[in-house]
């Protein structure tokens, strides 16, 4: 994986707002919150996660500059999936 996700990015989990699905959840590879939510509803969230992970290897991610939080998006993706499944 890219160096951007080798650090402990789960130090401070952000609150997941499932009422507002506007915007991106993965800034490097342009995955939207709505796209991820729909994939959770259809049970296909792993396709998005695997796509992100494969692209993190090649061409690589740039979370520190693309994500406004400055941290790896994958932690946000995983937290979003967990919250969406709890509905």
Give one DSSP letter per residue of 20-81, joined into a string.
Answer: ---SEEETTTTEEHHHHHHHHHTT-HHHHHHHHHHHIIIII--HHHHSTTSS-HHHHHHHHH
| pLDDT tens-digit series, residues 1-60 | 445 665 444 444 457 889 999 999 999 999 999 999 999 999 999 999 999 999 999 999
Q: Quick count: other Cβ atoms within 10 Å of Cβ 40? A: 20
Give the per-residue pLDDT at 16.
85
Kindly tell me if the per-residue pLDDT of 77 is higher than 80. yes
**pTM for this prediction:** 0.82
Q: Quick count: other Cβ atoms within 10 Å of Cβ 51? A: 13
> CA-CA distance, 22 to 3, in Å (whole number)?
28
Domain segments of the chain as ranges: 22-85
Give the per-residue pLDDT at 3.
54
Of the listed ranges 7-11, 40-44, 62-66, 69-73, the least confidently predicted one is 7-11
């Amino acid at each position: 994986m890219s160096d951007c996700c080798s650090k402990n990015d789960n130090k401070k989990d952000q609150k997941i707002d499932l009422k507002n699905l506007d915007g991106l959840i993965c800034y490097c590879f342009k995955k939207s919150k709505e796209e991820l939510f729909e994939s959770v509803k259809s049970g296909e969230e792993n396709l998005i996660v695997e796509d992100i992970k494969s692209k993190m290897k090649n061409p690589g991610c740039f979370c520190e500059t693309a994500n406004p939080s400055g941290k790896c998006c994958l932690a946000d993706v995983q937290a979003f999936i967990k919250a969406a499944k709890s509905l």
